Chain A
Amino acid sequence: MTKLPYLPETPSQTAGPYVHIGLTPNALGNAGIYPQDLGISPIRDGAKGERITIRGTVTDGAGMILRDALIETWQADAEGLYPAPNEARGQADPNVTGWARVIADFDSGQWTLNTIKPGSVPHTSGGTMAPHISLWVVARGVNIGLQTRIYFEDELAANKKCPILARIEHKDRMRTLLAKKTGNGEYWFEVKLQGEDETIFFDL
């Protein structure tokens, strides 16, 4: 057998139904191990930008709402800068951590993200990506974490020019990536794992 010129990535396995034990023990009720869970908020007091709340659910192909899903979110600050050590364009807002973990409510399955609306981010090969929040969705029955993005239905002009949205061949599916505005600073976003109106998932 010839040796591969690279090491293969460690293969994924499902997060299973008990992911909260490891990633959000305090939210589960297993207090006492860590003072607080990681990723409790993507922003701190004083974060610049428009405060928004996004609520939503994760549903399966039978239309059932998942109560064991965990979503991680990653976003830029209001200027479009990532609060990351490898962000080369400048220093992001110190009150934006950019990263959060949100879990489906154990009873209703609804999740809530309180954050700021991110700015546009340049695309490496030209163009500008419309304001978006990257999502990584794991749950029992999900064998490898699913990548998707929240875009905003009220960013029409920016969305039209986004090189990632332009990749989508079936234009009627694009709406599955748009958070619906339900009020002042309030949005609704459903992740549909399968079936009619299945959310667009990426391989980026």
Chain B
Amino acid sequence: MADAPVRGPLVARDRLWHPPAYAPGYKTSVTRAPSRALVAAPSTLSEETGPAFGQDMLGELDNNLILNFTGQPAIGERIIMHGRVQDDQGRPVPGALLEIWQANAGGRYRHKKDGYAAPLDPNFGGCGRTVTNAEGRYEFLTIRPGAYPWPNGPNDWRPMHIHISVFGSGFGQRLITQMYFEGDPLIARCPIVNTIKDGSAIEQLVAPLDMSAAIPMDCLAYRFDITLRGRRQTFFENRPEGL
């Protein structure tokens, strides 16, 4: 890897910014939320280190969900999802592993436990992966996922969303979240979105339409930047320890 490895203790998570474990509006959390306080301490080498991910492990179509299942195009509105992974100081995070999964254009997942009425698309698998480049940037080509109903309240619907897993340079930065689409009226009604208490934190998950990255006569684009837990200091490999 060309980039000097990043070291140093991780900044503590702001637990009020993230959703709490117990959020009764999202019913499944009621029996799955720990009831005792987390045991908090500064990060250790076990959280500050993590495996290396390189571009070399990727297949050519890994970030192209329109074609990566059968080679034939999936049905749906073609979109680019793109952005930058950065730390809390806005510095790029290169080499971050991003994995996404989503429902097809009708709101149906390719999963044995999803029995929704909308049909499977024979050409849509629903997952993709990539690794951020030296500038921390990434891009996926996919289709806009459909909204879907789910058992929670009497008539709850998930807004259009793409699940995304992010793996930066340390195991303690591990994060899974969901990207929503600007203008979707289901966002405000969603019990899972609303597990997050702070409206500005929710806004961070709503990707704006990005016409500057859209391709004329081909696809729209949405921009989703991701910020990982920062590190208090940065040591570079070519510097002596402690400098």
Residues on A facing B (Cβ under 8 Å): 6-23, 25, 28-30, 32-35, 38, 60-62, 64, 66, 68, 72, 74, 76, 82-88, 97-99, 106, 121-125, 129, 132, 134, 136, 138-147, 149, 164, 167-168, 173, 193-195, 198-204
Contacts and interface: CB of A to CB of B under 8 A. Distances in A.
Contacts of B196: 11, 13
Given A85-B52, A193-B33, A145 B177 contact: no
Nearest to A61: B31
Contacts of B68: 33
Contacts of B109: 18, 21
Contacts of B9: 124
A31 to B, nearest CB: 9
A168 B39 CA distance: 7
Contacts, number: 276
B121 interface: no
Given A22-B101, A203-B38, A86 B6 contact: yes
A140 B163 contact: no
A138 B236 CA distance: 32
A97 B235 CA distance: 23
B125 A61 contact: no
Interface string B184-208: 0000000011011000111011000
Contact of B41 (A9, A22, A204): A204
Contacts of B160: none
A203 B62 contact: no
Contacts of A25: 125, 127
B88 interface: yes
B41 A202 contact: yes
A88 B6 contact: no
B136 interface: no
Contacts of B7: 86, 88
Contact of A144 (B18, B169, B178): B18
Contacts of B200: 8
B201 A198 contact: no
B110 interface: yes
B12 interface: yes
Contact of B110 (A30, A62, A134, A193): A30
Contacts of A106: 112
Contacts of A21: 101, 109-111, 125-127
Contacts of A28: 111-112
**Chain B CB within 10 Å — which of A11, A64, A84 has the most?**
A11
Contacts of B12: 203
B44 interface: yes
Contacts of A98: 51
A32 to B, nearest CB: 6
B70 A143 contact: no
Contacts of B111: 17-18, 20-21, 28
Nearest to B52: A85
Contacts of A124: 9, 42, 44-45
A134 to B, nearest CB: 5
Contacts of B28: 140-141
A143 B23 contact: yes
B14 interface: yes
